Structure 1
Amino acid sequence: MTKGKVVDLFCGAGGASLGFVKAGYEVVGAVDVDEIALETYGDNLCEGGLLDDYDGDVMFDEPLRADLGRGYEDPPTDDDDIPQVTFEDIRDQFDLEPGEVDVICGCPPCQNFSSLRDTEPWPEDEPKDNLLRAFVDFVDEEKPDVVFFENVRNIIRAGEENPTTYIDWLKRSMKQIRRDGDSQTSGGYGVDLDVLNTADYGVPQRRERTIALFVYGRNDDEFSLPEPTHAKHPKLSDLKQWKSVDEAFDEAEELKQDLEAGREQVDIEDYEDDEAHRARNHHQSTIDRMKAIRRHGDSWRDLQDTDDEEHIVDAHMDVDRGAHSAYGIMDGDLPAPTLTTRCTTPSCGRFTHPSKNRGLTPREAALLMTFPRWFELPSQNDAAERVVGNAVPPEFVEALVSRIPSHVRSVALGQ
């Protein structure tokens, strides 16, 4: 018996869906607008046999490509053939009955809150990002028992000074949702919301994300997000040690670690072909820069006032602050830094391999995001790193939702 039926909105390549499947849930619907991400989802999660080792499953042949913006002010997709949908449309697509969904999972893109983008004021009593506004509408149309919400960490900072800013709007909006027949005191969603570090849940990546667990008909103090299982200094507790980059790579024994720049793991003796384990074909100047940085430290700033200063790129010569992570070398003894949509491009972050003078391969990035080895990735580097960088780590979701039954399922799902 599965733990519940899940619809995954803004599903991307399926990181959250896979986490729910591993935790024993049935994913009965998934929707996104990104064509490449959806192709990746379908190739991996909708093909027979790949999920047989897990207690849950994906119950449809392909995810739905649709615009989830609901016609709000955000610019609609450029493709006129992509429909805008309501939750009723989603039910029709996946042959679901009203009230059949136990959990809605939502990871709506929120660039307006990203630390990589400057933020701007927004009107009072309105959310800052209309995809989030649309997400609340989807919840209101189905009113499932549980809502799992994931977003960038900076969203939680909104609302600390002004009670009409977004995070407070979100909580108020969810508390105001009522099922037919419920009173103002018996309905609405209680919430536990916090910024969690994926490394604290066994992911080999320090990725801080805002996570909210909403439960219908419950007060905020009746449930909580699961506690961490790992820590940076576990000797101070009974937790496990953070999982490091080197540990994650060492577990993948079938990957050739000394892969050179410009090579892929194809037709290499003693190694099974893996086209996703391919290193970018760096310019020689980039490789020389990596070697120079490694001689002096782990950042291009370590080249300042040295005999290798010539390897600093022109754009950084007059930079006093910022850009610290560009061309940075990953510390193999720690979890990786947050992987972005440029996570195999050394100039865009601390994405140089811990011991090799090359960037991460898409396969290595996917491992740091806890996708399994069998997970297929797009054949183009830019598409592969975008799919990975936008993902939710499956093992992070699994760690959180597998423990929902102990404190939520009995009161929310009636078991």
Structure 2
Amino acid sequence: MNNRNYHILFANELDINAAKAFSLNFPRIPLLNCDVANISEEYLVEKNIDYTNVDLVIGGPPCQSFSTVGKRQYDARAKMYKEYRRILSFIKPKVFLFENVTGLLTIKNNIGQPVLDDIKNEFSDFSDFNIDLSYEIKESVLNAKHFGVPQNRERVFLVGIRKDLNVSSKWKFPSPIYQREEQFLTLEDAIGDLPTLLNGESKQNYEIETYTRYQQLMRGDCDDLTNHYNGINGEKMLRIMEVVIPGEGKKYINELVVNGELDSKYYLTSGYNNTYGKLWWDKPSSTITNNLSTPSSFRCIHPIQNRALTSREGARIQSFPDSFHFVGSKESVNMQIGNAVPPLLAIAIAKQLESFFKSITR
């Protein structure tokens, strides 16, 4: 892909549906649908990709092992950052950007040491590859709601700047656009114009006009509504979603049972304490996950409709425009949505990177 500011050499994605979706939305960018472990200098040469003199590499190794939602373990996925590091060892970009969940800040390795320290140390020095390559590492936690995304979503960002360039002092992470509670976009701001859905219902057309600037931005010129369908839930789940109140979840339901306000058949024995949670209409959404349409999962129950979020609502909350096409089953689509860096946050970082590169080439 080319514009007056940049040229993207290639992207890499292992999941077939995510790869198809990427190519569908960005057809001019070469997409390597393969395991990152298979990407080597020889492989790039075979694909006629010139990887010399690269300015920037962006990557986000799998985050599930670090996530504070569910189990946390230092497993094979947690070590995938080493493959990213291997890619850096032969591309040798001027700058790299690394993104992951905030759980990375606290998880320990197999000998009880902070994994983040390992990562920063390894990404600083590449002498074990017998090459002269080292990076100055800058670290920050950014929250998507500070950048116009209607979601309370914190992520860790590491920026590595090649030490031989002597320009690391010029790097600054983007400053928040919105900082006060009353400035943050709410769930209603994001999805209030999307059609209501009954149990098992799907709709392909908008029914009302947009009434916030964010809704206008997301809908754009779209005429057809996609990925807006509600799953079929049984009587027990419907009743649970009906009685739980915004901001509450499993614990609240069980308290109703214990207090005799709800039949004992609704007592919840499975799931974490933060499951079966209902969102707030007048606040930013909680962090969107791969299970955004599963009401028994982390907080994803619609605040005024008796259902979980739809894939399109999840995409809206992540700041994907309605024109963005996803590929695959609902589960696959939700994974593509839940794993993504919100586009509006990505744009804020991209603008900062653009300014940085302009400052070091003057």
TM bucket by the smaller chain? 0.7 to 0.9
SS in 1 for 2:324: coil
State whether structure 2 residue 314 is matched by structure 1 residue 365.
yes
Aligned-residue offset at 1:400: 1.1
- What stretches of structure 2 of length at least 5 have no aligned partner? 210-222
2:43 corresponding residue in structure 1 = 89
Cα distance in structure 1, aligned partners of 2:10 and 2:247? 48
Counterpart CA distance in 1 for 2:148 and 2:359 is 26
Moved more, 189-198 or 399-408: 399-408
Q: Is contact 1:159-1:168 (8 Å) kept?
A: no
Q: Does 2:86 match 1:132?
A: no
The one-character-per-residue Cα deviations of 1:356-379 (angstroms, maximum 9, x if unpaired) are: 111111000011111111112235
Q: C-alpha distance in 2, partners of 1:232/1:87?
A: 47
Identity, % of aligned positions:
24
Unmatched 5+ residue regions in structure 1? 5-23, 47-57, 71-83, 235-240
- Asked if the contact 1:146/1:215 (under 8 Å) is kept, the reply is yes
Relative to structure 1, the CA distance from residue 146 to residue 311 in structure 2 (aligned partners, 3 Å threshold; closer, same or farther) is farther
Q: Which residue of 1 aligns with 2:239?
A: 288
Verify: 1:301 aligned to 2:282, yes or no.
no
Match of 2:7 in 1: 26
Q: 2:144 aligns with which of 175, 178, 198?
A: 198
Q: Which has the higher strand share?
A: 1
> What is the deviation of 1:42?
1.7
Give the aligned partner of residue 155 of structure 2: 209
How much does 1:212 deviate?
A: 1.0
How far is the alpha carbon of 1:140 from its aligned partner?
1.1
Instruction: Using the TM superposition, give the Cα deviation of residue 284 of structure 1 relative to its aligned residue in structure 2, in angstroms.
Output: 2.8
Query: Aligned-residue CA RMSD in angstroms?
Result: 3.2
Is it true that 1:189 corresponds to 2:170 in the alignment? no
Q: Which among 19, 38, 45 is matched to residue 19 of structure 2?
A: 38
The reply on whether 1:173 has 2:122 as its aligned counterpart is yes
8 Å CA contact retained: 2:274, 2:299: yes
Instruction: Determine if contact 2:74/2:108 at 8 Å carries over to the other structure.
Output: no
Q: Equivalent residue of 1:230, what SS?
A: coil
Alignment of 1:21-170 (within 5 A): 25-46=6-27, 58-60=28-30, 63-68=31-36, 70=37, 84-90=38-44, 92-93=46-47, 95-119=48-72, 129-158=78-107, 165-170=114-119
Do structure 1's residue 266 and structure 2's residue 204 form an aligned pair?
yes
| Contact preservation (8 Å) 2:9, 2:51 | no
* TM-score, length basis structure 1: 0.73
Structure 1 residue 134: Cα displacement: 1.0
Which letter does structure 2 place at the counterpart of 1:265? K
Q: CA deviation at 1:380?
A: 2.2
Which residue of structure 1 lines up, in the alignment, with residue 228 of structure 2?
277
Give the match's secondary structure for 1:196.
strand
CA distance in 2 between counterparts of 1:118 and 1:97 reads 40
Per the TM alignment, residue 299 of structure 1 is displaced from its structure 2 partner at its CA by 2.6
Match in the other structure for 1:385: 334
How many pairs are equivalent? 341
Which residue of 2 is the match for residue 14 of structure 1? none
Alpha carbons of structure 1 residues 220 and 164: separation in structure 2 relative to 1, 3 Å: farther
